[in-house]
């Protein structure tokens, strides 16, 4: 597992998380991939690290939201504001 996700699947009251893989391109964070399943997003991240793209850890981020596009866009905006 690529993230510490020890609470995965605990309790039905927890909000379902949508996981997004962001990449750093031209000094800007961009959405590359997303899925409701963290393992799927981690697999995509691993493929980007090991594949011809050869992204560094510092060029990849995984974050969770409620899955609404506005929430994803807000997270990307936060990353780009730094």
Q: Where does the pLDDT of residue 12 fall: very low under 50, low under 70, confident under 90, or very high at 90 and above?
A: very low
Tens of pLDDT along 28-72?
999 999 999 999 999 999 999 987 778 999 999 999 999 999 999
pTM higher than the cut 0.85 = no
Cβ neighbours, 10 Å, residue 41? 23
pLDDT at 15 over 60: yes
Q: Which helix (H) or strand (E) covers residue 65, if one does?
A: strand 60-65
Torsion-angle region of 33 (φ positive above 0: left; ψ -120 to 50: alpha; else: beta): beta
User: Quick check: 13 pLDDT over 80?
Assistant: no
Q: What is the pLDDT of residue 68?
A: 96
């Amino acid at each position: 597992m690529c993230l510490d996700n020890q609470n995965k699947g605990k309790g039905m009251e927890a909000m379902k998380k949508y996981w997004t893989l962001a990449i750093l391109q031209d000094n800007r964070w961009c959405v590359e991939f997303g899925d409701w399943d963290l393992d799927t997003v981690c697999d995509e991240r691993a493929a980007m690290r090991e594949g011809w793209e050869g992204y560094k850890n510092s060029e990849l981020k995984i974050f969770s939201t409620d899955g609404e596009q506005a929430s994803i866009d807000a997270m990307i905006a936060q990353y780009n504001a730094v």
